[in-house]
Amino acid sequence: MTNGGRVVIITGSSSGIGKASAILLASQGWRVVVNCSSSVAAANAVVDEIKTNGGQAIVVQADVGKDEECKKLVDKAIEAFGRLDAVVNNAGTTKFNAHTNLRGLSTEDFLRIYSVNVVAPYNMVKYAEPHLRSAGNAAVVMVSSIAGVMGVGSSIAYAASKGALNTMTLSLARNLGPEIRVNAVCPGFIEGEWLRNGLGDKAYEAARNNYISTTPLRATVTAEEVAECVAFFCSSASKVTGEVMMIDAGTHLGSAPAKAR
């Protein structure tokens, strides 16, 4: 497939949803800017995989939690490819802390989490805006979380940051049309090392089993499944903006009734 050489920046794309989105969009003909803050070897591996399969990609190391690094990331994309058609704001961070433990989060924790999860997506859009408007039918995709809809997740600070990201999605969508569409995806429990490392093996398996036994679709979510939704918003959803799509096997609906025996 080809997309006329369109270009996408995907923040935090050395692993997880970002990596899956980079590989999928590259397979659809997009030229991909793979971003990482520190895991350069992993980012290079993503680019190597894309190139092996005939795609085009580069790595730009940048800490999107810093304003000037967001500008650098956009500038490097334009320098390499001469245009920009989509930005996927996937980079995120958290602190795992029980919601009942209010003393477990400091002001510094909140500011760090917000700097990456909320301020960075804003700055990326701010610097990308003129290039996206020039491209026309451009897309911004926010990788959010059902934490921002339900007030659950790794910590209250994380949930609050994703709620803010969802609200910002609506504000940007209202103001950046008609040239730029802005949408968000809100995954539920995502299979993978990020959650496993944060929760620990025992808690991870317990949470996974709980989702599989209680969600309406009796399932968790994979990074590749989220990437399909990211690609939809980038490529196909030409009349969709301001949408906050939940990809959570129905978690937001509450526990499903027990199966009849």
Catalytic residues: 158
Name residue 31's beta-bridge partners. Answer: 7, 56
Conformational region of residue 60, where left means phi above 0, alpha means psi within -120 to 50, and beta covers everything else? beta
Kindly state the tokens that stand for 244.
Answer: 């906050």
Considering only CA atoms, which of 46, 81, 51, 82 is closest in space to residue 61? 46
Q: Report d(CA 243, CA 218) in Å as an integer.
A: 25
